[in-house]
């Protein structure tokens, strides 16, 4: 009989050290076989730069400067840059001349051109009208508006589906989706509902996402969204927790999704989330909330199901939490 992983609730085949491949990799990398990776957005190390990290501790802008000039804060002299650009453009025009420049078409070529022009079908009045209405500088918005209302044929739809089902396109779609989810800062519908409740309670939204700057520019009548707050716990690997709603000085409102945060009312105990037992996820969430409470924060957790099914009571609950 094949040996099974020693982690409770895992039925995968043994790989090494009493664990399956996934739990062995987690133990080897993080020292804990039940470790759940939490992705925290890393920022540029340059002071006062809040752009996303790219490489070597810098964002894309500062990394390219460091790579090219050896200094991430290097400032290019505009006069030198303009001279270099003009020289480059002149050289390009010298090396990339039009092959027909200074030459004349032969009689044979002229005859062919006239024959093509004669055999070309005449332009209809409707097409001429459309061409006269079309702007000189075609914008993407104009082209999108032109396509609106047009019905695609069945063969056209099939061709599109075939083009998008190639392995290369599938990889491209998957990477784009991951990037969009990772960089997403836009709140979802439920978070927008909570935001409206707070604004109706006469609180003013502060868009600042840096914790220190937020506290400096806010008072008790403000609230912020998606702010990284430090978390201190021995068992936790992460150093920060992205807070959904922060009300100065110490109030937090967290919106928990049914699947991502494993709502115990909806999901059974034996279920796994991203290959990890549900009880491990509950333990991780509890550790984060306990750590924030230790630091003096008051926390109100709002579940997705409660917003969808009992919005009136949730509104009263949030209003009471804000006033208290």
- What rounded mean pLDDT belongs to the chain? 83
| Domains of the chain, first to last | 1-35 (no CATH), 38-76 (no CATH), 189-323 (3.40.960.10)
CA 137 to CA 134: how far, in whole Å?
9
Instruction: Transcribe 268-284 into DSSP letters.
Output: -TT-EETTEEHHHHHHH
Query: Is the pTM here over 0.85, yes or no?
Result: no
pLDDT tens, position by position, 120-169:
888 888 888 887 877 766 777 777 777 777 788 888 888 888 888 888 88
* pLDDT at res. 4: 87
Secondary structure percentages of the chain, helix, strand, coil, to 5: 45, 15, 40
Question: SS3 for 242?
Answer: strand
Q: What is the DSSP letter of 40?
A: -
Report the interhelical angle of 154-164 vs 167-183 (nearest 10°). Answer: 80
Kindly tell me if the per-residue pLDDT of 253 is higher than 90: yes
38 with 240: CB under 8 angstroms? no
Can you give the length of the chain in residues?
324
d(CA 234, CA 243): 20
Peptide bond just before 249 cis, omega within 30 deg? yes
Classify each residue of 38-70 as buried b or exposed e, where b means 16 or more C-beta atoms within 10 Å of its C-beta: eeeeeebebeeeeeebeeeebbeebbebbeeee
**247: closest CA among 153, 163, 142, 323?**
323
Phi and psi, residue 14, nearest 5°: -60, 140
What percent of the chain stands above pLDDT 70? 93
pLDDT tens column, 65-74: 999 888 988 8
In the block, residue with structure tokens 């505009």? 78
Mean pLDDT, rounded, for 9-14 = 86
Per-residue pLDDT tens for 254-287? 998 888 888 888 888 888 877 788 888 888 888 8
- Model confidence at 300, in pLDDT bands (50, 70, 90)? very high
Closest by CA to 22, choosing from 220, 274, 212, 232, is 274
């Amino acid at each position: 009989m094949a040996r099974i992983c020693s982690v409770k609730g895992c039925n995968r085949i043994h790989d090494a050290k009493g664990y399956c491949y996934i739990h062995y990799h987690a133990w080897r990398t993080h020292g804990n076989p039940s470790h759940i990776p939490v992705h925290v957005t890393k920022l540029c190390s340059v002071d006062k730069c809040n752009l996303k990290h790219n490489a070597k501790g810098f964002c894309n802008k500062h990394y390219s400067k460091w790579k090219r000039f050896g200094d991430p804060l290097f400032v290019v002299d505009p006069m030198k840059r303009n001279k270099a650009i003009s020289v480059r453009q002149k050289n390009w025009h010298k090396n990339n001349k039009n092959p027909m420049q200074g030459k004349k078409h032969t009689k044979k070529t002229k005859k062919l051109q006239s024959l093509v022009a004669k055999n070309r079908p005449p332009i209809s009045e409707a097409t001429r009208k459309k061409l006269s209405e079309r702007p000189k500088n075609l914008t993407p918005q104009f082209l999108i508006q032109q396509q609106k209302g047009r019905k695609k044929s069945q063969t056209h739809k099939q061709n599109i589906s075939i083009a998008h089902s190639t392995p290369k396109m599938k990889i491209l779609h998957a990477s784009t989706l991951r990037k969009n989810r990772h960089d997403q800062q836009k709140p979802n519908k439920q978070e927008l509902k909570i935001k409206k409740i707070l604004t109706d309670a006469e609180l003013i939204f502060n868009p600042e996402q840096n914790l220190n700057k937020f506290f400096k520019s806010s008072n008790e009548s403000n609230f912020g969204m998606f702010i990284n707050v430090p978390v201190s716990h021995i068992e936790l690997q992460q150093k920060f927790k992205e807070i959904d709603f922060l009300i100065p000085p110490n109030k937090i409102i967290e919106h928990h999704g049914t699947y991502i945060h494993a709502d115990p009312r909806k999901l059974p105990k034996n279920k796994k989330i991203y290959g990890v037992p549900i009880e491990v996820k509950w333990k991780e969430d509890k550790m984060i909330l306990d750590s924030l409470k230790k630091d003096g924060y008051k926390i109100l957790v709002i579940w997705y199901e409660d917003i969808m099914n009992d919005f009136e009571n949730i509104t009263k609950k949030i209003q009471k939490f804000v006033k208290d």
